[in-house]
Structure 1
Amino acid sequence: MKRNQLNLRLPKPTARTGAMLVLIVILLVAFMIAVAFSVDVAQMHLARTELRSATDAASKAAALELSMTQDQSKAIARGQEVGALNLVNGNPLLMAPDEFDFGHSEESADGRFEFVSGSLPLNSVRVTGNRTAGSRSGAVPLFFGNIWGINTFEPSVTATATYIERDVVLVVDRSGSMAGSKIAALRSAIDIFVTTLNDTSVDEQVGLASYNDRATEDVQLTPDLTQISSAMSVMPVGGWTSISRGMDAGQAIMNNSRDSKFVERTMIVMTDGQHNRGPEPRTSALRIANEGVTIHTITFGSGADITRMREVATIGGGKHYHAASGEELERIYREIALTLSTMMTQ
């Protein structure tokens, strides 16, 4: 018997098959290049964002130190310290002394602040944050830079912080719920606020209004901050809670202040309870904010109306803080006092 023989013939490669393979290879290469480009672009964007944040922080720290000490060397050292606490592309931002420029900023007709290097009196610090080849931190290396012949990214940003004169009115709650340990904690927190402001060289004037179901103008705006502590030490407590009347009394004090064109005006409203007398505080906040006053709010304790006071701060362009304890209340007043003396201008 003859064995059947099968002749298996494989199809021969055609020109069309070869062309498809070439096209696939080209597309894969193009895709890999696009991915590499996207990775490097994302890295550059992140590095620039981190550099901006680090430079802003360094300028604020330097301006605050300048306001407290009037010493440029100390301001530079503080700015360098804070800059190094911030990572840019995974490395601390190291800054040279010549990247700090001191001068004076004034508000222009369009509401912006203009910085003039070396101009007196010194109230501003302009900081240049660099991740360039010649900087202390060096340039930012790119993952796939060899593909297009650019191995590094060299971002540079500037930030200016200015400390300016401020008029500040404290509006505090003296309703019945503040009796005992709460009024004692508030007095201690206000003392810390006053002490912190006294440690800066910024020209602040502070006034004091207080409220229960009625409100009083306890201290008109004054640079003598001991008057604030003295008034707090003898402040009686009792009655209902009318936050809006307290804010209106604060506004009356503010309207007796210096020309608002030359000062920043801030109101700090504190309560431990629920508004239960008088007009709506949010309405008062809108009117006060329209006069160029920034409103910060502080709620103290578990019974405070956090939602309403957060909305008041939002209307006033400020910030809401909540203190669950006397220690937190002291920290908040100190934090506000420290932030009052600096402002980012550009």
Structure 2
Amino acid sequence: MRRVPTCRSNPLLQHALRHVSSLASNRRGAMLVLVAVVIIALLAMTMFTVDVAYMQLVRTELRAATDASAKAGMEALRRTQDADAAVAAAIATAAANKVGGESLLLTVDQVELGAALRNADNSVSFSAGQLPYTAVRVNSAMTNDSAAGPVPLFFGGVFGINTFQPTRSAVSASTEVEICFAIDRSHSMCFDLTGVDWSYPPGTPRTPDPIAYPPHASLSRWASLAKAMQSFVNITATQEPKPRVAMVTWASKITQANYEGKLTKTNSPEIFVDVPLTTDLSSLNAAISARSSKVMLGATNMSAGIDEARKILNATKASRPYAHRIIILMTDGLWNQGRDPLLAAEDARRDGLVIHSVSLLPRKGDVTPQVSAITGGVNYPATNSAALEAAFAEIARTLPIVLTE
């Protein structure tokens, strides 16, 4: 039988095996080096990606904090007419916001007051120091020479960059505003503040019928409205630029063919323009006062008031195309006359108008929250006279303040 050759008996075979083993060992070594290089590259890319994402987050936080600071400064300026108060409000608001996990620190020289000027191309520019002040600019910075200091990076040291130094500027300005109040003057405005229908303030005459008398001078819902309007006027009178205001009052149409019209010998229209658009804010108080001595008749034709206010504000679009137009709808009742107020709200929205609504003694079925929501406005429910006054004051303080840069 022929013997099978073995490695030991065949030198050539032994040499071949040693060569193959050496090649395999070399390939394994080269592969380990390649794997190590790839792992290092992946780690570097991961660290770089983490820092880039963090930098973007910090930029976003800085923008939000700077915008909020500028708007707070402008709100304080309008409310107080005090430059120092505006600067303090901007600094405090910045500090209340976290950027990179730390409060955003500003110094007084980073908050500037000036005027917002409209250019020929309809852009808006900021003129620092120009009176009257109508804008606030905040220049935030997280740099080596700023109060906030630079933002440390997680892995920046690996690449020789330990910190990130972002900056941001924001300008908040008070803009032109045109407001039309749409005020409910239906008979329920003569009721007291208990929220009970046909419940009148003490001292209201009963004969021949309470309907035949004007609202109580201090305890009626109309009297509460008068105080709220006074608060609105007091606040807006200090603002620059001053808003242009108008007022319509509304109810359902009453003629002497109706019981209350015959009783009072009065014809009462569904809408009446009490104050055309004007910068004379005191005319609002005068109109409310004039109504206080008259009987109030009719039901709640809310859409009539919205439609008339919309008509007044739309009439100025050609001459004042950049003004913000707002309807302030005030009512104490539920819609029960005229077309659906939600349809009137849709028309207002299409015209670019915002409706803020104030619901005195709101109850189930009140559509004013929906009316405001359709137009991007705010509904203010008021359960008593103090809340009504607070609602009007809040609206006055927050009339459009916009970011222009």
Which amino acid letter does the alignment assign opposite residue 325 of structure 2? R
Match of 1:248 among 271, 284, 307: 307
State the shift of 1:27 in Å: 3.4
Which residue of structure 2 aligns with residue 31 of structure 1? 42
Alpha-carbon separation, structure 2, partners of 1:44 and 1:237: 63
Alpha-carbon separation, structure 2, partners of 1:76 and 1:104: 15
Which residue of structure 1 aligns with residue 393 of structure 2? 334
Alpha-carbon separation, structure 2, partners of 1:99 and 1:174: 49
Aligned residues: 331
Which amino acid letter does the alignment assign opposite residue 48 of structure 1? R
State the shift of 1:144 in Å: 0.9
Which residue of structure 1 aligns with residue 239 of structure 2? 200
Alpha-carbon separation, structure 1, partners of 2:47 and 2:390: 48
Check the 8 A contact 2:182/2:306 in 1, yes or no.
Answer: yes
Aligned residue runs from structure 1 range 158-173, under 5 A: 158-173=169-184
What's the C-alpha RMSD, in Å, of the aligned pairs? Answer: 3.2
Match of 1:72 among 44, 65, 83: 83
SS at structure 2 position matched to 1:340: coil
Alpha-carbon separation, structure 2, partners of 1:31 and 1:275: 66
- TM-score w.r.t. the length of structure 2 is 0.70
Alpha-carbon separation, structure 2, partners of 1:236 and 1:256: 31
Check the 8 A contact 1:297/1:312 in 2, yes or no.
Answer: no
Alpha-carbon separation, structure 2, partners of 1:288 and 1:106: 29
Match of 1:321 among 379, 385, 399: 379
Check the 8 A contact 2:181/2:247 in 1, yes or no.
Answer: yes
Alpha-carbon separation, structure 1, partners of 2:368 and 2:304: 18
Alpha-carbon separation, structure 1, partners of 2:55 and 2:142: 11
State the shift of 1:84 in Å: 1.6
State the shift of 1:156 in Å: 0.9
CA pair 195-279 structure 1, distance change in 2 beyond 3 A = same
Aligned residue runs from structure 1 range 1-346, under 5 A: 14-175=25-186, 179-181=191-193, 183=221, 185-213=224-252, 214-232=270-288, 234=292, 239-254=298-313, 259-261=319-321, 263-285=323-345, 287-288=347-348, 293-299=353-359, 301-303=362-364, 304-306=366-368, 308-314=370-376, 319-323=377-381, 325-326=383-384, 328-340=387-399, 342-346=401-405
Question: For each residue in 1:312-344, what CA deviation from the matched residue of structure 2 results, as whole angstroms up to 9, or x when unmatched?
Answer: 323xxxx22242633554443322211116322
Unmatched runs of 5 consecutive residues or more in structure 1 = 1-11
Which residue of structure 1 aligns with residue 257 of structure 2? none
33-42 or 286-295: bigger deviation: 286-295
State the shift of 1:155 in Å: 1.0
165-174 or 42-51: bigger deviation: 165-174
Alpha-carbon separation, structure 1, partners of 2:368 and 2:354: 18
- TM-score w.r.t. the length of structure 1 is 0.80
Higher strand share: 1
Check the 8 A contact 1:217/1:253 in 2, yes or no.
Answer: no
Question: For each residue in 1:82-128, what CA deviation from the matched residue of structure 2 results, as whole angstroms up to 9, or x when unmatched?
Answer: 22222211222221222223332233455432223344443222221
Question: For each residue in 1:213-259, what CA deviation from the matched residue of structure 2 results, as whole angstroms up to 9, or x when unmatched?
Answer: 32222233344434424544527655333222102222344467794
Check the 8 A contact 1:196/1:337 in 2, yes or no.
Answer: yes
Which amino acid letter does the alignment assign opposite residue 57 of structure 2? L
CA pair 69-322 structure 1, distance change in 2 beyond 3 A = closer
254-263 or 320-329: bigger deviation: 254-263
Check the 8 A contact 1:61/1:79 in 2, yes or no.
Answer: yes
Computing the radius of gyration over CA atoms, which structure comes out larger, 1 or 2? 2
State the shift of 1:69 in Å: 4.9
CA pair 15-332 structure 1, distance change in 2 beyond 3 A = farther
Check the 8 A contact 1:68/1:201 in 2, yes or no.
Answer: no
CA pair 23-189 structure 1, distance change in 2 beyond 3 A = farther
Alpha-carbon separation, structure 2, partners of 1:221 and 1:93: 43
Alpha-carbon separation, structure 2, partners of 1:77 and 1:290: 39
65-74 or 142-151: bigger deviation: 65-74
Which amino acid letter does the alignment assign opposite residue 268 of structure 1? I
Question: For each residue in 1:34-53, what CA deviation from the matched residue of structure 2 results, as whole angstroms up to 9, or x when unmatched?
Answer: 33223212221221111112
CA pair 128-276 structure 1, distance change in 2 beyond 3 A = same
Alpha-carbon separation, structure 2, partners of 1:237 and 1:150: 74
Which amino acid letter does the alignment assign opposite residue 220 of structure 1? P
Which amino acid letter does the alignment assign opposite residue 219 of structure 1? V
